[in-house]
Structure 1
Amino acid sequence: MNTTPTPRIAIIGAGPSGLTCARILQQHGIAATIYDHEAGLDARDQGGTLDLHEDNGQIALREAGLLEDFFRLSRPEGQETRQMDPAGAVLFHHTPDEGERFKPEIDRGQLRDLLLNSLEPGTVRWGHTLRSVEGPATGPRQLHFTNGTVVEADLVIGADGAWSKVRRTISDATPQYSGVSFLEAWFHDVENKHPEIAELVGQGSAAAADGDRCLFAQRNSGNHIRVYIIQRVPADWITADGLTIQDTDGIRALLLDRYRNWSPSLRRLLADNDGLYVDRPIYALPVPHAWEHNPTVTLLGDAAHLMPPLGVGVNLAMLDACELALAIAHHNTVDDAVLAYEKTMLPRSAEMQQLLENGAEGLLSTELPDFATGKGH
């Protein structure tokens, strides 16, 4: 980038998009600092597995110089998918071909570590929860954090997810509940402790739906499986039934009743889990989501285009990050770079948002020919 002095770039959020953006910027000799609200890299579980697609997520990793490292960590066998009916009969089974690399799986934590370890030391500042973005639209911007820190930046990149605080600077849009909720269940040491479930799921994923409910089970690395219990329910369905998320036995009894007509093999996915359930109601931004161009603030990933979890979220977020970083590297001003990035990103995300609108409902459908493309991403 030719601008003098070098712009001060602040990225909010150390998820896949923020980390990818910083990595590619550093590949081009451009400094960026990431601010994340978590206390450190091990502050919480990073979630389940995801697939990175050849036509978006892998493009970003190639530009980041990390594609071969990704392939060494990924699980191509995770592309195996099975779709069943509630009676447990297999309706569809895909086994990946030898060497198939279109969308291999990787645990979210492994991907995050790969990206984090590629960055220059000190790139990520943990324990920084953003309170507000202040200053004129033309810059510089002042980032106010809840720990009292104030940082000045020439470009603020919101990679801070569904409930982005950066988004409030340029958009009034807020995520809306989709009407569909995920309840996550974990299974550990599955080959020894849960061999029937390990056999049912295989090396990839297995799903069944009846039009109102769905079960989606997915192999993770380290002999783990995560199951997503998907229902059309109010966002507060657990408390509405007089329960709390800590009441594992109460939730389990309720689920077994709701899925009482399903096969015993599938009902194990509801009831044999290790530990607490995790409540994940599904939200999405209005369709389409756009904003008036701002020369000092822009958005990536879920902050820009939160959609139902149908396997595209992280992939699009990383492609966003790649394209923004390259735009910054190849334009003379931050403003020109943001304009160029949004000219491509906004139409693409609007098209995908429209395609996936009400897609959470589709997760419950019995008619999807390949449900396994719709993962909890």
Structure 2
Amino acid sequence: MSTEPRSTSEPRIAIVGAGPAGLMCARVLHNHRIPATVYDADTSLTSRDAGGSLDLHADTGQIALADAGLLDVFAALARYEDQAKRRVDQHGTELAAFVPDADDDAAPEIDRGQLRRLLAGSVPAGTVHFGHRVTGVEAVGDRYRLRFANGGHADADLVVGADGTWSRVRPLVSDAAPAYTGVSFVEVRFDDVETRHPDVAALVGTGHLFANDGAGLAIVAQRNSGGQIRCYLSMRIEADWPRRAGIEPDDEAAVRRYLLDAYRGWDARFRPLLTDTDSGYLHRPIHALPAGLTWPHRSGITLVGDAAHVMPPLGGWGANLALLDAAELATAIATQPPGTALTGYEQRMWARSGPLAAAANEGLARFAGAADHIPDHRAEHQRYQADAAAYRAARA
């Protein structure tokens, strides 16, 4: 069965994935009065935890939001004070601190869930079809057929793969698959921190706390909205470390014991980050596609965001690139001939994402290894602003 009839007056566009990239693409297409249908595996917009906080950079994510007409809405939700960053060693000794200027708007924070709801609310009702997990995409004549886990299918003239690390669309253009980086995170969460976890709140402060022992263990703690803090306990370790340690996925006590042993040389101030979670322990092995991945162009199909260039979450470039990918692709579809819209977009996307993917790989290696490299966040913010000005000038 088909999920909906085909339009006879215009190409049908199917976007796979209702994350920030897919929703941004649909929003910019809508602004150009071009309909698109977004298919997502989630049963609803709020059926799962969307994750932690994102810093949206002036030269990428914020440009996309401006192009979508959503920058003011974003600014009302963004946390500018949480651009602050502090770095310490495993003993809690401060190595560096960055406090943003009062007018610094280079990389304000927003929760992933807030960003997703913002974007979903900006497209017409009925645009997003939840409960449609794509199991495969195949060419049928000069069109593409999406097959869903619910037994249905939908046909499209243009398919945009915005379906993340394990994209079901990517195999149509590339046989590349994400590889394990050698680093795993364990995500934990603390709610109502000022009241229930004051020691955690005091340790983290505003923005981000980065702690590193220089020997493969690290912790990233970040403020989220609503009095919440999330932490990512980083280990250079085998991807299947719970199985190797004989730990069942839902055995929180066993995970806690493992973490306490792994971080046993760390200062006692870090102990609550290992033991007092309000959310259990979520295992997140970090995977990445080859940096600089390209593919032979194929008519009627392309990728955005993590589907095209998933990279380690060091530098915060993944979501920012995803948003700009999506906005640029949608604008190209709306303003350029079909024969050149996708190829031009892909060339620009590859040129931008390749060097940043390589930098993210290098950043992860440094973060999970020696703690002798501390980024200059003030210079980083200045670069975001300068690059944003150059981007806007180039297309003026």
Name the TM tier (shorter chain).
Answer: over 0.9
Tell me if the contact between 1:130 and 1:165 (Cα under 8 Å) persists in the aligned partners.
yes
Q: What's 2:137 paired with? A: 133
Matched, 1:123 2:127: yes
Q: 1:29 aligns with which of 13, 30, 33?
A: 33
TM-score normalised per structure 2: 0.90
Matched, 1:216 2:220: yes
Q: What's 2:327 paired with? A: 322
Q: What's 2:386 paired with? A: none
Separation in 2 of the partners of 1:114 and 1:359?
30
Tell me if the contact between 2:54 and 2:110 (Cα under 8 Å) persists in the aligned partners.
yes
Tell me if the contact between 1:218 and 1:227 (Cα under 8 Å) persists in the aligned partners.
yes
Alignment CA distance shift 1:116-1:372 (3 Å): same
Letter in 2 for 1:184: E
Q: Secondary structure at the match of 2:232?
A: strand
Partner deviation per Cα, 1:277-296 (whole Å, 9 max, x = no partner): 00000000123211110111
Tell me if the contact between 2:289 and 2:311 (Cα under 8 Å) persists in the aligned partners.
yes
Q: What's 1:296 paired with? A: 300
Q: What's 2:60 paired with? A: 56
Q: CA deviation at 1:372?
A: 7.9
Q: Secondary structure at the match of 1:251?
A: helix
Q: What's 1:180 paired with? A: 183
Tell me if the contact between 1:16 and 1:115 (Cα under 8 Å) persists in the aligned partners.
yes
Tell me if the contact between 2:28 and 2:331 (Cα under 8 Å) persists in the aligned partners.
yes
Equivalent residues in 2 for 1:255-274, closer than 5 Å: 255-274=259-278
Aligned-CA RMSD value: 1.7
Q: What's 1:191 paired with? A: 194
Partner deviation per Cα, 1:215-244 (whole Å, 9 max, x = no partner): 111111111100100000000101111112
Separation in 2 of the partners of 1:146 and 1:245?
25
Unmatched 5+ stretches in structure 2: 1-7, 381-396
Separation in 2 of the partners of 1:291 and 1:118?
32
Separation in 2 of the partners of 1:191 and 1:210?
27
Tell me if the contact between 1:82 and 1:372 (Cα under 8 Å) persists in the aligned partners.
no
Q: What's 1:66 paired with? A: 70
Q: Secondary structure at the match of 1:135?
A: strand
Partner deviation per Cα, 1:33-57 (whole Å, 9 max, x = no partner): 1000111111100000111000000
- Of 163-172 and 256-265, deviating more is 256-265
Separation in 1 of the partners of 2:377 and 2:244?
31
Q: What's 1:83 paired with? A: 87
Equivalent residues in 2 for 1:1-377, closer than 5 Å: 5-135=9-139, 139-211=142-214, 212-310=216-314, 311-333=316-338, 335-364=339-368, 365-370=370-375
Tell me if the contact between 2:313 and 2:360 (Cα under 8 Å) persists in the aligned partners.
no
Separation in 2 of the partners of 1:371 and 1:40?
40
Alignment CA distance shift 1:372-1:247 (3 Å): farther
Q: Secondary structure at the match of 1:357?
A: helix
Percentage identity across aligned positions?
49
Unmatched 5+ stretches in structure 1: none
User: Number of residue pairs matched?
Assistant: 369
Q: CA deviation at 1:187?
A: 0.7
Partner deviation per Cα, 1:25-82 (whole Å, 9 max, x = no partner): 1001111110001111111000001110000000000000000110100100110111
Tell me if the contact between 2:291 and 2:355 (Cα under 8 Å) persists in the aligned partners.
no
Separation in 2 of the partners of 1:370 and 1:251?
32
